[in-house]
Each structure stands twice: as structure tokens, then as C-alpha cells.
Amino acid sequence: MSEPGLLVIDVGTSGVRAAVVCPDTSQESRTGSTDGTRRTSAGRAAVIGEVHHVAVLPSSPAPGFVEFDPIELRSAVLSTAAQALRGSGDVSGVGIANQRASTIVWDRATGDPVGPGIGWQDLRTVGTCLALQPQGIRLAPNVSATKLAMLLDMADPGRERDLCFGTIDTWVAWILSEGRLHVTDPTNAALTGLLTPDGARWDTAILEALRVPESVLPELVDSSGIAGAASALPGSPPICGIAGDQQASLVGQGCTLPGLAKATFGTGGMLDCCVGAERPPFSSRGPAGCYPVVAWRRNASTSWGVEAVMLSAGSCVEWLRDDLGIIESSADSDSIAASCKDTGDVWFVPALVGLGTPIWDFGARAAFIGITRGTGRAEIVRAVLEGIAHRGADLLEAAEADTGLEIPSLRVDGGMSANATFLQALADSTGKPVEVSPVLEATTLGAAYLAGMALGIWADPEEIAGIWSPREVVRPAVSPSVRSERRHRWMAARDKARGTIPELSTLEF
């Protein structure tokens, strides 16, 4: 008789996925990374079984506004969970993975939201962020802090009501516990902008500046540890794994030892590298443009990482499809790019909404360099894929510089990890083997591993590292000298894309 699985609720920007994940009982051992330091573990890989998805799309009622309906999200969480459990039966625990920094405020007594959910992409509080800088408070508009203050100003200007604030994980835990749990973990709390740099507690100075009562904030709990019962589900299984999407993907791809890194290529791109028990030495952004992040917390001990950010990745392919109409589907970009042997010396800088790590220039804009009369559709498409790959190399080089660690290979997931031309370009640009996740989205696996460690299904992060087994490994196909020349040429193009909108290039967060 098979042992009960784990239910994972995975909330992305466009929908809710519920999956039942079980340890693979058919395997006694797995062999780890193909990076030359093979590790063998007695641990079992996780197998994703029952999967159900409901779309919950954000809306944009005005330029720069991104909202969602918390009530619709609640219905999607309960319906997808019920569907998954109908096919699997009871589970031993629950894990939560979620988009980070999106913000909800609700009434503690009734559980009713006091306004719309504010998505992490929402930029309406950028003026507040700028106004706080003279006070020495540097907050980006995408974190939760100023979104929370705005919702409180709308619903409770006198700060008299008994309200709750939460990121998506907090809202999901509240729903599943029928209002008994008001919790978050440090991977999510750190992306609120309200946590102290050591990740241990809420920052009272920022709370005071924004007039945020500490009573509205959730309790900090471990990313891997029993938080409380999901009483809304059959059998009331414990909620025992919580992580923001990028950290869940980090764990899901076995990057749980220092120097192991993954990159998720979706609409944008995020590279996360495990650092270990010591927090990176920089307070906010490192010299190479990476941010310190809590990778997970377990047994009250924090493990750290760094995160490098690409603002435009898959969105560039969507632009080719939806706006230019030169490809019919995102998948077409692979075959069309592969139909030419190179770009014909055309270079593309993917900066549709600015450049992130290492440049951090919000006024940079996308650019093609080197177009001639002989440039055709295939060269344009290939240049876009190679440009995104060069940005991936930017992120990896920045992570190595800010951590002082050598990253032996790059593990990848996300929609673009299905594009063979892009994967080869990424291996060539980074000069590293690219290890492709066996599942397109590794967030679900990561939340399951965190929950499973809390229940003793997996012993520790070292065992999780040993389980990793990529779907394929793509190795560099160019010499170091060719790679260096291509990087030099592409960086020259990147420099020309900087400062396109000078007033935005002066913004610092």
C-alpha cells in the first residue's frame, strides 16, 4: 500500500495549481548533478501525480495598476485542492508555493478582503517609494510595504480596525486553516520590504514610517516546519512547507548546497544561488547587482542565497508573437531560429522594461544592433533568443561575483526551458553546462520537498541536493575565445541600450 502523498498549492501570477506529490518508491537511490561532482543519496525523488489548475488572471484597471480578486483566488484554492484530493485521497501534509510580494488586507473577524489584491507588478506606489528615500528608507515599488500602506490608508485611515495583512502564502494558509493561521515564512516576508536585514523580525522603523501597526502582520514560521492544521481539507493535514516561488524552484531543482544555482525563465528571469548559513555581506544590493534572499528557514535556522533579476525574458518572445506577428506561437521561435546558422551579426538587448542585474537601469530599452538589408525573420528571432541567453550569462556572472563562489553548472526551469535553441545559446553564453529540470515548473517540487522534510520523508537539504536528476544536459558548443568575443560584442550592444529614457535611468531602488 503506497504511503500518503503531499498536497501542494502553487499560486502563480495567472492561476492556481494543486498537485499531489509522492515520493518515488520505485527507486532506492538517485545520482545527483552531472557537473562533475556526482552525489548519491538514498533519498527518493518526488513524483507529481494529480494536477488541477484554475486560471485567476490579474486585471489592469489603469496604467501601472495590477490587481486580482482575493475571493476568486480563495475559490480557486479550495476547488483545485478538492479536485486533487478526490483523485488521491488523504495526504500527509500540505506545501504552499506562491508569487511573492502580492498584497492582500482583510478583516480578521469576517475574513473579508477590504480591497482588491495588489499584484507584485503594480507600480502605483512608486511616488511613495521616492518620498521615503530622503528618510533613508529604500523600498522598491514591487515589494509589499507601500502596497500595504496604501490599502490601510484606503480601508482604515485611523488605524482602528482589526485587520490582517498577508502575501499570497498567508492568504492560502488562512483559507486552508479556516482563519486559524495568520502566518508567513521568511522567503515571502523578505519580499515585503518590512523584514529586518537578518530575516529575523519585522522592521519597526519601516512600520512606523508607513504607519503600519505590527498587529496586522503575520507570525513568522519556518519554511519547512509544521505551522498548523489545514482544517478545511479532509483529515486536517498539517501545513508544513511554505516558500516564495523562486526559493521553491531553488529547492525543487536541488540547489540546496552552496554554489548551486538555478534560473527560471518565464516572462522575466530570476537566477538564485544558494550561499549557505552566512548572510551575504551587503545590506541590500551587492556590487554586481544581486540581492541577498532567504533561501529557506528550517529548525529556526536560516539558509541564504542571492538573487539576480532579468526584467524581460519570455516577454520578448511574446512580443515577437503578439505585437510583431512574425511567429505564430512561442514554440515556433525554436524552429525558426534554428533555420539559420547564426544571427548574421545582429545583436538584441532584451530590455523592454529596463535592465535588471547587473546594470539596474530602468530607463534602458530594447535594441537591435547590426540589422542590414540581408537580415530576415530567422535572424531576428535567433537574435532575440541569443540576447535573452546573454542576459542569463549576465545574471550568472553577477551571482559568482557577489558570492565569490564558482557555479559549476546552471539548472533551468520555466517556459523557455523547452526551447532547444535558447538552451544551447545559454550554454554557449555562460560557458557552463545547462541542466534542464525534469519538470517545466520546479516550484511544486520545492514546496513538496520543504513539506516532506518537516515530516521526515526527506531528511535534510543535503539529501534533496542528491536527488537532482536533470532531464537533459546541454553543454557549450563554442570555444572560450569565441564565447569571449561574442560576450564582448553583446555587451557593446547592451551599452547602447542604456539610458534611453534618462529620467527613468536615475531611479534607484
Q: Tell me, what's the pLDDT at 37?
A: 35
In a domain, 54, yes or no: yes
Is the predicted pLDDT of residue 451 greater than 60, yes or no?
yes
Is 227 a member of any domain?
A: yes
pLDDT, the chain, mean:
94
Side-chain-facing half-sphere of 424: CA atoms under 13 Å: 10
Which CATH number fits the domain that encloses residue 95? 3.30.420.40
- Within-domain flag for 443: no
User: What would the pLDDT profile of 231-288 be if each residue is shown by its tens digit?
Assistant: 999 999 999 999 999 999 999 999 999 999 999 999 899 999 999 999 999 988 999 9
pLDDT of residue 28: 46
182 pLDDT more than 80: yes
Which comes out higher in pLDDT, residue 95 or 130? 95
pLDDT at position 40 is 35
- One-letter amino acid for residue 236 of the chain: S
From CA 221, how far away is CA 210, in angstroms rounded? 24
> Average of pLDDT values for 446-471?
97
Whether 186 is in a domain gets the answer yes
Helix, strand or coil, per DSSP, at residue 289: coil
Residue 345 lies in a domain: no
H/E stretch holding 483 reads: helix 480-497
Residue 488 located in a structural domain: no
Residue 99 located in a structural domain? yes
Residue 220: pLDDT above 90? yes
- The pLDDT of 344-353, averaged and rounded, is 96
Asked if the structure places residue 80 within a domain, the reply is yes
Q: Are strands 261-265 and 410-413 parallel, antiparallel or unpaired?
A: parallel
- Note the pLDDT of residue 43: 66
136: domain range? 6-24+44-246
**pLDDT above 80 for 501:** yes
Return the number of other C-beta atoms located less than 10 Å from residue 258's C-beta. 16
Say yes or no to pLDDT of 185 above 90.
yes
In this model, does residue 154 exceed pLDDT 70?
yes
Statement: residue 473 has pLDDT above 80: yes
Q: How many domains does the chain have?
A: 1
Closest CA to 79 of 102, 100, 54, 56: 54
- Helical H segments across 44-157, by residue range: 70-88, 126-132, 145-155
Question: What span, in angstroms and rounded, lies between the C-alpha atoms of 264 and 158?
Answer: 42
Could you read off the pLDDT of 1-60 as tens digits, one per residue?
467 899 999 999 889 999 999 998 765 444 444 443 333 344 688 999 889 999 999 999
Q: Output the pLDDT for position 215.
A: 98
Residue range 341-345: average pLDDT? 97
pLDDT at 70: 98
**Residue 30 confidence (pLDDT):** 43
SS3 96: strand
